[in-house]
Structure 1
Amino acid sequence: MIQGVGERAGKVLAQDAYGDGATRLVYLEQGWRPAETLWYYHADQGSVLMPYEVLVNLEQADNPRPFISPEHLTRFRLLNQHPTPNNPDGLPVGFARHKDRVGLTCAACHTTQINYRGTAMRIDGGPALIDMIGLFAAIEASLTATLADQAKLARFTAALPGPRRAAARDTLTETQAWFASYAAANHAPTREGFGRLDAVGRIINQTIRFTSDAKNSLTVDAPNSFPLLWDAPRHDYVQWTGFAGNAGAGSVGRNAGEVVGVFGQVEVQHYETEEAAKRGYKSTIEGNALVAMEESLRRLQSPVWPEELLPAIDRPLAARGEPLYAQHCVRCHALLDRDDPNRSVVAMVTDIEKVGTDPTSARNLATAKAPSGVLEGAISPTGQRYGATVSAVALLGDLVTRALSAQPLAAAQAMVNAKLHKQEKTPKQGEHREDPNDPSVSLLAYKARPLNGAWASAPYLHNGSVPTLYDLLLPATQRPRRFAVGRWEYDPKKVGRVSDGEVPFVLDTSLTGNSNAGHEYGTGLADADRWALLEYLKTL
C-alpha cells in the first residue's frame, strides 16, 4: 500500500510558509510504477506558456533568489521535484518542456499531497491545491521587476547562452505582455484561490483569443475544483457537467481541449469547404502523447486509506455506515471495485434544480456565446455555416476537431482504444433534461461518480465549497460559510484538510459561484449515524 520515494524524485520541505512541512514523503500504491509516475508528471502535451529559459533563470520579484526555488513554489502549492533525466532543472510536478518553451501538463492540476504529522503522501490523479492565478501574478511581477531593475536584468542576461543575451530584454518584454494580457482577458470577480479554477471559462477564452480577439473574452466567475482522474478513462461521460463523452475519439478530444486551456497554440483557419477543412489546424497539441496519457490513466487506481499513516478505520462503526450508504448514496455514487481490470463507470447526471448546488458553472456553459471571428461564414465540423456568433461549446468543438484532423493517427488510435475497451456512445443516465431542439438544456446538470478515493479529494462539491465530508453530511445551513483552503495538513476525523484560520486563502460561500447549498442527501441523519456513514466512506 505504501511505496517509498525511490525513483519518483519527490521533494518536501521540513517547514513551509503555511506550517505544513514534512520530513518524510511516501507514495500510495495506485497501480503505477515509478517510471510511469515520472512520465505523467512531465509529459509534453503541447503547452507553450513561456520561454523555458525565462522560467529557469527568473528571479523572485523582491529578492535575487530563483523564482523556481522550492520554498517559493510551495507557496503556490506546487509539488517540488528533484532533478531527473526528463526534468533536469527540477521543475515542479506538472511542468513540461515543449522545444524551447515550457508549459503545463495534466499533473499540475491532478496530483495532490496530504500531510499528516510530518509525513507527506503524494496521490497521483488527485485534485491539486495549486493557486494557478496567484502563480501567474507572481511570474508577471517578477518579469516586471526584472525589466525595471538593471541589476536583475544583468543577472538574467548573464545566465542565458551567449547568442541569446542580445534578445534578453525583448524576450522578457514579450513574456510580460502575454501574462498581462491573459490577466486582463480573464476578469474573475470571484477569486479562485487554491485548488480551483474556472477551467472551462478560461478554455473558452483561449478559443476566443484564437478566433477573434481577447477583448471578447467572457467573465470567469464559476470556480471549479480540479476533478480527480482515477477511473476517468472508464467513464461514459466526464467533466463536472458531464458534457464530454469518452466514446469514439472523445477522450483525445477532451484532452486536446484541455491543452487549449493550458496554453497550447492553435492556428485557426477559415475553410469554405469540407474538403479543405480536412487539412485541419496546425497546433502545438501533442495528440499521440494525449492518447498515451489516457491509456496510462486507465491503469491508475484510487488510493486506499493508509492505516499505516492515518488513524485506523473503526471497522464496526464503518459496518454500521454501510447500509446508510446503500440507503442515501449508492443511487448516484455506485460502488466500484478498484482492482477489477474491467471496471467501468456509468455517470449519473442530475439537473441543477434537483441537486441544488451552485448553478453558475452549468449555466455559464449552457449560455456562453462568442463572436465567430475568423470562422464567420466558414464550414463547421457539423456541415453548417457559422453565423456572426456561435455557442462557446461549438467554438471549442471546432478547434478540437480541426486540430485533431491534422493528427489523424492520434484520433484513430483513440477510437481504436475506445472500441477495445467497449466504450460506446450511450444515453446519459440520471435525473436530467434533454431537448432535441436545444442541446444546451442537457448541460444544465452536474455529474456524480463513484466515491472510491473520495477521502483524498477535499474540499467537496464541484466548486470546492465544503471543506470536509462531515460538513457535506450536514444540512446546507449548518455548513461552514467561510473556511481556509490551501493547507496540506489532513483532518482524518472529519475527512478533509485542516480548514480553520485565515491562511493561505479564505473561501467565502456568499460570493458568486461559491454557494455551498444543495446535495442534501443523508443530511437528516442523527449525528451518530452521520459519523458511521463517514467511517464507511473512508473504506471506499
Structure 2
Amino acid sequence: MTMRTPITLALALLATSCTEKAVTDAGPQGWGPAQQNAWYGATQGSRLLPWAWAEVLERPGEPGRFFDAQWLTKFRLLPRGAGELPVGMAIDKQDDRDFTNTRLRWVAGQPNDAAWVGFNCSACHTAEINYQGKALRIDGGPGLTDFQSLVEAVDAAIIETRADPAKWDRFAKAVLKTGDSPAARETLGGAVDQWLAWAKGIDRANKADLRPGFARVDAFGHIYNKVALLANRGPDFDPPPPNASDAPVSYPFLWNISQADRVQWNGIAENTKIKVAGKPFEYGALGRNAGEVIGVYGDVKMGGPASLKGYPSSIRVESLNDLERTLKLLKPPMWPAALMGTPDAAKVAAGKALFDKQCGGACHGTVKPGDIETPFKTTVFPLKVAGTDPWMACNAYTYEAPSGAMAGLPSGYIKLPGKPEPERIGQTAPIATLLRTAVVASLIEDKGALVKAAGATWLGVPARPQIDRPAIGLTPAEIKAARLKRCETEVNALLGYRARPLTGIWATAPFLHNGSVPTLWDLLLPPDQRPAAFNVGSREFDPVKVGYVTAPSATNSFRFVARDANGLVPGNGNQGHDYNNAKLSDEQRWALVEYMKTL
C-alpha cells in the first residue's frame, strides 16, 4: 500500500473521486462523488499510529500487513478502491511540536509534520447492507464496526512486533530504511515504547467485562476516559482510577442531524449556528465533534490555571466544520423497492394512521423524506419514561475523575458575557465538566474570539452539584448500585434519552440506543417477548422484519445477550420503549413495520 497524500476537506470537495459505489437502489442521498470521497477520508485530527509504522505493521498472530483494507473488513470496516485505506481511516499531517502523546521522534532528521493514520466519523457512520448478493451503501448510517476489537488488535500487533525478534527486525528495517543502525533502532524502540505506554493506559482505562461487539462502542466512556487520562498525564504516567466503559451504544444515523436542536443519545449537545463571513458556522456541532476527536486519538496538551490561552491540540477545526456542512446535504436513504419490493399500500396506510396516533406527534415527530432544511425540536424523555437501559445516560451523569491539570480552572474554561464567574474545578470533578472545559480550551487555542462567543452552547452540559465520592470499602457492585439509585431519583437534563424523527429508520438496525433489539418487528413486541439474545456481524438484511439477520454464521459471530438467567444484562438491556406494545395485534405491528419502510 502506498501512502496517499494528505488532503484537506476543502480540496477534497473540489476533487473528483474514483470511489467504487455499491448498488444505488437506496436512492440518491444528495452527495456527489467528491462529497462522499471527503466523508470517507478527510482528517479530523485523529492520530492513532505513525504512518511510517502503520504501512509496514504486521498482523498479530498471522502473516500479512495489518492496514490492508480487505483484512480490516473482519472488524467490519468498509474497503474503498485499490490501494486506499478503508472508509473512515485518514492520514493526518500537521506540526506536532505542541503535542504530547503523538510528538514522537523515531528517526534522525524526522520532520515536525510526520504523517499519522487515524479515524474520522465515517468509520462508524457508514452502513452497508446485503440482499440477494447485492450490496447497498448507506452514507451516514450506523456501521457494524467493532471499534474496540480493532484498537485492541492494533495494540496487540505493536506489542508482538516489539517482543518478537524476527518481527522487530523486519519492522525496523522497513521503517528505518537506509538509516538502519543499532543506534537508530534504539531510537525507534524508545518511540515505540512511549506509544505503548500510552496505549496500555487507554486499554486499562477502557477495560470492561461487557464487550460491545459489532455495531456498538461506548463512545462516552472512551471520550470521558481519554479526557481523564490527558488531564492526569505526567512524566511518571499512571492512569487515574478508571470509569468502566460498560455502556456501549449503537452508532447514531446522521442524516437530518443539523436540523435537530439537540443531538447525542441523551441530548447532551446543542446544535447552534452563526454566520462567519456570510457562511454558516456550525459551532454547536463543532464542540460535539471536537469531543469525538478527543475520544478517537486526538492529541491535547492540557495546562492548568496559570495560562488561559487555550490548549494546543490536533483537532482540525476547519475540517470538522466542513464535514458538518457536508452532512447538511445528506438525505435519508429511500426504501430500495427495486431490490426488496414495494411496501404494501394498504398496510402503509393503516400503519401511518396508527403511527400518527401513537408515535409521531407525541414522541418522534416527522420530517418529510428528502427534507434537509426544516428544523425540528427533540424531546429528551426521562429515564423512567423511556424505560430503556439506563447506563449510558447514568454513566454520563455520574462519572467523575481526578482533575489533574484542570484543577483550579474555571468550569467551562471561560466566563460568559452576562453570566456570573464560573466555579473553579476541584481536585475531583464530573467528567462531563472536564470534557466541556477541555473542548472549549482546545478550540479557543485555534479559533479565539469565535469560541469565546459560542462557548455557552458547546456540550450544553447541565450543571450538577458536586457530591461526595462513595465510601472506601464498597464493592464495585455496591458503587454501581449507588450510582443507579442517584440516576433514578435525581432530576437532570442528562438523565434521559431523546426521541427524533424516524426518517430512514429502516436502514438503522439494530435498534434502541444500545442496539439491543435486532429488527423493527421485535421493537414493537412487549419487551419480555423481544429476543433475549441474537447474533450480530452479518450485513445480510431481512426486509420482512426490517433489520439484519440474526442466525449464527461465520460472519454473524458476535452473540449479543440482552437477558440471561439473572435477568437484564446492565448495558445490554432491551427493556423500555414500550407504549402499550402488548395491546398491538400482529396485524397492527406488520402495518407499522410496512409504514416505517416509507419514512
TM-score band w.r.t. shorter chain? 0.7 to 0.9
1:247 Cα deviation after fit: 1.9
Corresponding residue for 1:457?
508
Between 1:304-313 and 1:471-480, the stretch displaced more is: 304-313
In structure 2, how many angstroms separate the alpha carbons of the residues matched to 1:313 and 1:413?
50
**1:63-110 deviation line (CA, Å, top 9, x unaligned):** 321112334211100001114xxxxx4110111111211111111111
- Contact 2:286–2:317 (8 Å) recurs in 1: yes
1:208 alignment counterpart: 228
Distance 2:141 2:452 in 1: 26
Name the residue aligned to 1:509.
Answer: 562
Residue correspondence of structure 1 range 72-151 to structure 2 within 5 A: 72-83=71-82, 89-99=83-93, 100-151=115-166
Question: Which amino acid is 2:19 matched to?
Answer: A
* Corresponding residue number in structure 1 for 2:526: 475
* Secondary structure of residue in 2 paired with 1:336: coil
Relative distance call for 1:414 and 1:191 in structure 2 (3 A) is farther
Shift of 1:175: 3.6
- Which residue in 2 is equivalent to 1:261? 295
Q: Quick check: 1:315 aligned with 2:345?
A: yes
**CA deviation profile, 1:190-223 (whole Å, cap 9, x unmatched):** 1111111110011010000111252333111111
**Secondary structure in 2 matching 1:443:** coil
The yes-or-no answer on 1:519 pairing with 2:539 is no
Q: Which residue of 2 aligns with 1:497?
A: 548
Aligned counterpart for 1:532 among listed residues 591, 595, 599: 591
C-alpha distance 463-174 of structure 1, shift in aligned 2 (>3 A) = same
The letter for the 2-side match of 1:217 is P
How many angstroms apart in 2 are the aligned matches of 1:414 and 1:533?
A: 45
Letter in 2 for 1:243: I
Distance across 2 between alignment mates of 1:235 and 1:246: 7
Q: Percent identity?
A: 40
Alpha-carbon distance, 1:164 to partner: 6.2
Which amino acid in the other structure matches residue 280 of structure 1? G
Unaligned runs of 5+ in 1: 1-5, 13-23, 84-88, 419-423, 429-433
Q: What SS does the corresponding residue of 1:301 show, helix, strand or coil?
A: coil
Residue 83 (structure 2) pairs with residue 63 (structure 1): no
Post-superposition offset of 1:146: 2.2
Deviating above 4 A after TM superposition, structure 1's stretches of 4 or more consecutive aligned residues are 24-28, 409-415, 434-440
1:363 corresponds to which of 370, 394, 413: 394
Q: Check whether the contact 1:110–1:125 (CA below 8 A) recurs between aligned residues.
A: yes
Using the alignment, how far apart are the partners of 2:51 and 2:25 within structure 1? 30
Residues 174-253 of structure 1: pairs in structure 2 closer than 5 A: 174-212=194-232, 214-248=239-273, 249-253=283-287
C-alpha contact (below 8 Å) 2:364/2:500 kept by paired residues? yes
Distance 2:167 2:401 in 1: 41
CA contact (8 A) 1:44 1:96 kept: yes
Matched, 1:445 2:445: no
Q: Distance in 2 between matches of 1:252 and 1:296?
A: 13
What is the DSSP-based 3-state SS (H/G/I as helix, E as strand, rest coil) of the residue aligned with 1:29? coil
- C-alpha distance 531-76 of structure 1, shift in aligned 2 (>3 A): same
**Which sits farther off after the overlay, 129-138 or 210-219?**
210-219
**CA 1:8–1:356 in 2, change beyond 3 Å: closer, same or farther?**
farther
1:152: Cα distance to partner? Answer: 2.6
Which residue number corresponds to residue 397 of structure 1? 436
Question: CA–CA distance in 2 between the matches of 1:49 and 1:125?
Answer: 23
Q: Sort the Cα spacing of 1:77 and 1:32 in 2 relative to 1 into closer, same or farther, 3 A.
A: same
Query: In structure 2, the residue corresponding to 1:221 is in which secondary structure?
Result: coil
After TM superposition, give the deviation of residue 40 of structure 1 in Å.
1.0
Let me know the Cα RMSD of the aligned residues: 2.5
Match of residue 304 from structure 1: 334
Q: Distance in 1 between matches of 2:202 and 2:75?
A: 19
Q: Letter of the aligned partner of 1:112 in structure 2?
A: A
> Residues 482 and 410 (structure 1 numbering): CA distance in 2 closer, same or farther, change over 3 Å?
farther
1:252-273: CA deviations, max 9, x gaps?
Answer: 111111111011011111124x
**Residues in 2 aligned to 1:411 and 1:115: alpha-carbon distance in whole angstroms:** 44
Tell me the TM-score normalized by structure 1: 0.87
Is contact 1:366–1:440 with CA below 8 Å preserved after alignment? no
Contact 2:50 2:116 in 1 (8 A): yes
Residue 410 (structure 2) pairs with residue 379 (structure 1): yes
- Per-residue deviation at 1:405? 0.8
Q: 1:210 to 1:440 in 2, by over 3 A?
A: farther
Deviation string, structure 1 residues 132-187 (Cα, Å, up to 9, x no partner): 11112222222222223333333333333536643444444444443332211212
Please say if residues 19 and 33 of structure 2, whose CA atoms lie closer than 8 Å, have aligned partners that are also in contact.
Answer: no
SS at the partner of 2:380? Answer: strand
- Partner amino acid, structure 2, of 1:61: P
Residue 128 of structure 1 aligns to which amino acid in structure 2? G
**What CA deviation, in whole Å up to 9, does each residue of 1:352-408 have, x standing for no partner?**
101100011111111111111122223332532221211111100100111111122
Q: Per-residue deviation at 1:284?
A: 0.5
1:97–1:103 CA contact under 8 A, matched in 2:
yes
Query: Alpha carbons of 1:458 and 1:414: their partners in 2 closer, same or farther (altered >3 Å)?
Result: farther
Matched residue of 1:271: which SS?
coil
Deviations 1:269-291 (A, max 9, x none): 1124xxx42x1111011111111
2:221 alignment partner, SS class: helix
Q: Separation in 2 of the partners of 1:414 and 1:534?
A: 45
Q: Is 2:440 aligned against 1:407?
A: no
State the AA in 2 paired with 1:338.
P
Matches within 5 A, 1:320-335: 320-330=350-360, 331-335=362-366
CA 1:156 to 1:216, structure 2 compared with 1: closer, same or farther past 3 Å?
A: same
C-alpha distance in 2, partners of 1:288/1:365?
28
Contact 2:138 2:333 in 1 (8 A): yes
Q: 1:349 deviation in Å?
A: 1.0
Deviation larger for 356-365 or 171-180: 171-180
SS of the equivalent of 1:204 reads helix
**Amino acid of the residue matched to residue 244 of structure 1?**
A
Distance 2:158 2:26 in 1: 35
CA distance in 2, matches of 1:394, 1:145: 38
Please identify, of 178-187 and 155-164, the stretch whose mean Cα deviation from structure 2 is larger: 155-164
Q: TM-score, normalised by structure 2?
A: 0.79
- Count matched residues: 501
How big is the shift at 1:312? 2.2
Corresponding position of 2:11: none
Task: Tell me how far apart the structure 2 counterparts of residues 379 and 163 of structure 1 sit (CA, whole Å).
Answer: 51
Distance 1:80 1:26, change over 3 A: farther
2:69–2:84 CA contact under 8 A, matched in 1 = no
Q: Which amino acid aligns with 1:34?
A: P
